[in-house]
Amino acid sequence: MSKIKIATVWLDGCSGCHMSFLDMDERLLAIADKIDLVYSPLVDAKIFPENVDLTLVEGAVSNEDDLHKIKLVRSRTKLLMALGDCAVTSNVPGMRNYFSRDEILRRAYIENASVNQGIPTETIPQLLPKSKPIHEYVKVDIFVPGCPPHADIIFNAVAALLEGRLPDLENQARFG
Ligand code: SF4
């Protein structure tokens, strides 16, 4: 039987959701023979491949690079999972939405900078006006809230998908 191709993607998040993914510990071994991790911050793959079965996405869409990436990921993925509150609601990255983009850049690169003050115009992706959850840009198939979602919930969701059914997270996952 061919393995299920899985990817994980890190947009504007703190990596805590990926840490929770790793917290599945020995259960990762239990599913290891069923999956092929084809792209992730956890593996050395530079290009998001075609025909991925399931992608878990951590983080909100906050800059042009995030936006390009989530559209590419969606076009190459059968099932897309919003993993964690930042992906589901924009959560922590969304706290900047009360301020304008110029106010934020000025605060970060001029007011709070003790050296090399100045807003960069090259080498970093441009901020979008607001930080938004991924479903505002692309279709999301599974929402897994939590900050981060507990490893048990991630495992239950992935295990259900490996069995060919959608996970029922109603009484398991919660925000925060
Ligand atoms: Fe970090 Fe929480 Fe956002 Fe996950 S949901 S990336 S743990 S802040």
Residue from 91, 132, 143, 153 to probe ligand 1 pocket by mutation (most atoms less than 8 Å from CB):
91
Q: Output the residue whose Cα is nearest ligand 1's atom 6.
A: 13
Distances (CA, A) of 155 to 27, 70, 88, 95: 8, 23, 18, 29
Distance CA 121, CA 85 (A): 30
For the whole model, what pTM was predicted? Answer: 0.95
Domain 4-94+131-162: CATH superfamily is NADH:ubiquinone oxidoreductase-like, 20kDa subunit (3.40.50.700)
pLDDT, tens digit, 9 for 90 and up, residues 78-137: 999 999 999 999 999 999 999 999 999 999 999 999 999 999 988 889 999 999 999 999
